[in-house]
Structure 1
Amino acid sequence: MNIMIAEELMQSLGKMPAQERVKFFALVGQQAFRDENVSHEEVFGHLADDDFTVAEAAEYLEVSMATFRRFVRDGKLAAHAEVGRNQLFAVADLKAFKRQRKAVKG
């Protein structure tokens, strides 16, 4: 059995005609989301104990990098860890902050 690695798959997809790529991704989407009763935990549960970089955290919160950095500067969020000059933010903290912001917005 010949197993294709991700890089090989991407190269093969790049060689496909555009219409076939559209069909392929439509099929993948249909298969991946067949069950409409998928919980948040089933989709994102593996991230519960992860840390996000500043860019990932800003994207998760759906804010610009400047806004995210203001949250940190103003003490609304704090880095969970630092690696060199990079700050890492706990997913659990970001999730709680996002819920809090949604509650305030109504």
Structure 2
Amino acid sequence: MNSMTAEDLLLHLRMMPSQERARFFALVGQQAFRDENLSHEEVLGHLAGDEFTSKEAAEYLEVSMPTFRRLVASGKLASSSEVGRSQLYAVPALKAFKRQRQAVKG
């Protein structure tokens, strides 16, 4: 059996017509999340020790970049490390912050 590497798959996906690529990812999404009762841990548990960039953190928190910057400037969020000029944010801290915001919203 001839197996394909992730790099090969990415190359093939890039060469697909955009409509077919969109259809492919829709099918992947449907298959991956068939069971709508997945827990947060089941979907994102593998990220528990990771760090997100500012953009990724804002997307995870479902806020705009200006709102994210305000949260950082006000001290409500703090970076866990820096790489060059980029700040990284620990996933567990973002998860706790998101839960807290959701509890306040009701």
Q: Same fold (TM over 0.5)?
A: yes
- Name the residue aligned to 1:43: 43
| 1:29 CA drift (Å) | 3.9
Larger radius of gyration: 1
Change over 3 Å in CA distance of 1:14–1:52 after alignment to 2: closer
Task: Calculate the TM-score normalised by the size of structure 1.
Answer: 0.78
Distance 1:84 1:21 in 2: 35
| 1:48 CA drift (Å) | 0.6
Q: Percent identity?
A: 73
Listed one character per residue, the Cα deviations across residues 1-32 of structure 1 (whole Å, up to 9, x for unaligned) are 21123344355456667886676555534432
Larger deviation: 69-78 or 24-33?
A: 24-33
Task: Calculate the TM-score normalised by the size of structure 2.
Answer: 0.78
Change over 3 Å in CA distance of 1:37–1:87 after alignment to 2: same
Change over 3 Å in CA distance of 1:55–1:8 after alignment to 2: same
SS across alignment from 1:82: strand
Q: Identify unmatched segments of 5+ residues in structure 2.
A: none
SS across alignment from 2:63: coil
| 1:103 CA drift (Å) | 1.1
- Name the residue aligned to 2:72: 72
SS across alignment from 1:38: coil
Larger deviation: 77-86 or 20-29?
A: 20-29
Equivalenced residue count is: 106
- Pairwise CA RMSD: 2.3
- Name the residue aligned to 2:63: 63
- Name the residue aligned to 1:6: 6
Change over 3 Å in CA distance of 1:78–1:26 after alignment to 2: closer
